[in-house]
Amino acid sequence: MRRPPALDREAALFIDVDGTLLEIAPRPELVEVPRDLPALLRRLSVERDGALALISGRPIADLDRLFRPWQGAAAGLHGIERRRADGSPMSASIGDADRVAAASLDRLRPQLADLARRHAGAWLEDKGRTLAVHYRAVPEAGAAIRQAAERLLHEGGASLRLIPGKMVVEFQPRHHDKGRVVAAFMTEPPFQRRLPVFLGDDTTDENGFAEVNRRGGMSIRVGPPSGSTAAAYRLPSVRSVLEWLAGTRTEPAS
């Protein structure tokens, strides 16, 4: 897979956070934000008249805390939350699909908490409208946790999807994903009529890659080669992402 060409100043930028902009930590609250990163995000956003959005599994409130004082367009919880470039939130109305998914998550919540308790070192991250079981501290339990999650998904109905990630399995409403949120941003200024660029590192980013490819943009997978991906380009590490965004390069594209 090729290294991406230099970043176009006119491109619309969509960037995942953990594993892409930030090194993954044992727990989400332990990540470290490089000192110059908020200023870099601000510069990239200003160059594009605001056409930069962070698209993350974290809530938007988390993104604001991590990258303050930067506070631009963003999508949280894989697109369940969204803030436009002008600062306005997307409509908070809850539809039937959201209610069905919420009821399914309510049924799963105690079962997933029990699953995490059965594997010392695993833990349940409850983000309200998504649920994730992390097993980074007990990788040997990964196969058992993934199998149990698949069974619970099968029993839980069609409103949810299960996304296996880096030492985590996450249950999300099926009707929200990063591809759909990229498509939503692209209908609005200042993203309209720009070629989109999407950077991500994990399974949850594949919908975003596919949407960007469909629009003739640039999809970039971060990290060492691992399995199949819809991304057309690759950067080997978080460090290389920050260098590429800043327009510098010191790390070889291994």
8 A C-beta contact, residue 9 and residue 52 = no
Query: Which active-site residues does the annotation give?
Result: 16
214: pLDDT strictly greater than 90: yes
Q: How far apart are CA 171 and CA 149, in angstroms?
A: 9
More confident residue, 80 or 94: 80
pTM: 0.88
Identify any residues that bridge with 200 across adjacent strands, giving them in sequence order: 221
Q: What is the pLDDT of residue 91?
A: 57
In CATH, what is the architecture of 96-173? 2-Layer Sandwich (3.30)
Cross-strand pairs, 218: 197
CATH topology of domain 12-80+176-246: Rossmann fold (3.40.50)
CB of 249 within 8 A of CB of 230?
A: no
Contact 234, 1 (CB under 8 A): yes
pLDDT for 17-70, tens place per residue?
Answer: 999 999 999 898 999 999 999 999 999 999 999 999 999 999 999 999 999 999
Domain edges within the chain: 12-80+176-246, 96-173
Q: What is the mean pLDDT of residues 93-106?
A: 83
